[in-house]
Chain A
Amino acid sequence: MNSLRKRDLKAIVISLIVFAIIQGLISSEFLDPFWQLNIIVICINIIMSVSLNLINGYTGQFSLGHAGFMAIGAYTGAVLSVNFHMPFIIGLIVAFAVAAIIGCLIGLPTMRLRGDYLAIATLGLGEIIRIVIMNVNYVGGAAGFMGIPKTTNFAWAFFVMLFVVFFIKNYVNSSYGRACVAIRENEIAAEAMGVNTTKYKVLAFTIGAGFAGVAGCLFAHTFYIIHPSSFTFLASFNYLIMIVMGGMGSITGSIAGAFILTTISALLSNWPELRMSIYALLLIGLMFYRPQGLFGNIELTSLPIFRHFKGGK
């Protein structure tokens, strides 16, 4: 078990090396501003997909409203920065708290639903959040919220992402995560093993929503402007596609899914008419040849070749 901590340390060291390399590429202006921005977006999307995977992949509760929680975090962070001149870190923490509280309030009634019903309920609630925001003049309404400082740089995005990934990785490898997976595998048996299924479903939903809020706050401080139309259900689908592609129930998979899809959409940004078609073909191909996603529910680090030198699990 002490080796767990050692592996965590190794993973952190490797992450720092990756950070240093990318930061070096940015500082030396090897990467143009377009790709610098996209790297930040990749980090934000990783936070979104990993936190969604906690709800959909690990706990098995099919949520389609993740962009709604991102919107809550984005607007909370933006209001705190612009109207209250709070430091960014406070914005991130409050964005987490507000999104988590609303997630909990939404989770309490909806987590009693199953399967399709839950998907429809969360889809609707995600849209309700967006439409409420669109009608609140205090945050700019349909015109969007402007003048947000561009505080999010690569370092912020990367380290917040690292924190979230580690938090969720450790969560799913504890008794909390086992309770979540037990619910996914067999709810009746989980309850019979003493797992309070409602509690753990709502808890997973709350944490997932909270981190989506954090991603939203980073997002708001990347673009100067946020707009309700960035948080439609199509955005929620996009995150869902990432985790389906990477593999439900695999953190490595979520990271890979977010990375690959964000990169593809960036590469194809000059041919917007082709983008969705290629996206669709890619997904059809994936569902044909690997319906469980790229990684299934396996972590990269549990593969034999990686066991020797990489951290994780």
Chain B
Amino acid sequence: MSVLLEAKNVSKLFGGLKAVSNFNMTINKGELVGLIGPNGAGKTTAFNLFTGVYQPTTGTISLDGKSLLGMKPSQITQRGIARTFQNIRLFSELSVLDNVKIAYHTHLNYNLLEAAFRVGRYMQQERQVEETGKELLKIFKLDDKVNEIAKNLPYGAQRRLEIARALATRPKLLLLDEPAAGMNPQETKELMEMIRWIKKEFALSILLIEHDMSLVMGICERIYVLEYGSIIAQGVPDEIKKDPEVIRAYLGEEA
């Protein structure tokens, strides 16, 4: 297996606060990795470092062997990392289809004049975006809501749309920030199946943050545990379940 994402000795300081310190992580191609930890451990900060929202104070991050340091989030998306957000960030006033169409942005290359006069590559590429967008929405069972305004969707559907939108950027690595937050057990189970399926179907690597242990233990091949910005354990789910450090972090020390 070859390495897709590699973070080496990454630290991020906010003033005197070490949000993430000496963070090491590798994700191989085709792997499904989980990142867990108590609230405020720095999980989302790690996501923000991978996607260029923050720049690390020290350390390196690379995708496919090429450094991601100094790149804007949009450039990193173009290189192949897509993400969803912990608090859903859809384009809420736009239709479901438009949400997905925006994500195809980097794959359209007609120029300004072709767009303004609707000539050249414009027609053909727009038609293609419309079709592939609808196909993608079908996979996420949103094809009957193509023209609905995103904010009017039920919560679970909004989560699905956010994943669909991230996939439309055609990533190599998908980062899911608490995809099951606010879902009931039935929805979580369906989501689990879906994550497994998209990983295979789109030949992706996935890194997910999640608090729902049944989901994390059920689908992740490897798990990293973060506490106070440092990784305290890593390994396959069965190892993590028994790891005394992890139990201490979650439940506190024995009296």
Contact = CB atoms under 8 A, between A and B. Distances in A.
B112 interface: yes
Interface of A: 1-2, 4-5, 8, 167, 170-171, 174-179, 181-182, 185-186, 188-197, 203, 297
B106 A194 contact: yes
B93 A175 contact: no
Contacts of A175: 101, 104-105, 108, 110, 115, 129
A8 B115 contact: no
Contacts of A191: 72-74, 77
B90 A178 contact: no
A179 B102 contact: yes
A186 B73 contact: no
| Pairs A-B, 5 closest by C-beta atoms | A174-B115, A185-B91, A194-B77, A194-B106, A189-B89
A17 to B, nearest CB: 22
A176 B112 contact: yes
A191 B71 CA distance: 12
A108 to B, nearest CB: 15
A4 B78 CA distance: 30
Contacts of B104: 175
Given A174-B122, A186-B90, A193 B102 contact: yes
A185 B150 CA distance: 11
Nearest to B101: A178
Nearest to A297: B93
Contact of B105 (A170, A193, A203): A193
B103 interface: yes
B74 A196 contact: yes
A5 B102 contact: no
Given A170-B118, A174-B126, A189 B53 contact: no
B83 interface: yes
A12 B146 CA distance: 30
A196 B72 contact: yes
Interface string B82-96: 110100011111100
A66 B117 CA distance: 25
A180 to B, nearest CB: 10
A196 B123 CA distance: 23
A189 B115 contact: no
B98 interface: yes
Given A8-B118, A170-B115, A171-B115, A195 B102 contact: yes
B11 interface: no
9 contacts: A170-B115, A181-B94, A182-B91, A182-B105, A190-B91, A191-B77, A192-B83, A193-B74, A195-B105
B114 to A, nearest CB: 8
A2 B123 contact: yes
Contact of A195 (B51, B74, B115, B126): B74
Contacts of A194: 74, 77-78, 103, 105-106, 169
Contact of A192 (B77, B94, B117, B127): B77
A117 to B, nearest CB: 21
A181 B115 CA distance: 16
A189 B90 contact: yes
A230 B215 CA distance: 65
B116 interface: yes
Interface in B112-159: 112, 115-118, 122-123, 126-127, 129-130
A186 B91 contact: yes
Contacts of B43: none
Contacts of A5: 118, 123
Contact of A193 (B108, B115, B123, B169): B169
Q: Interface centre among B78, B89, B105, by most A CB within 10 Å?
A: B105
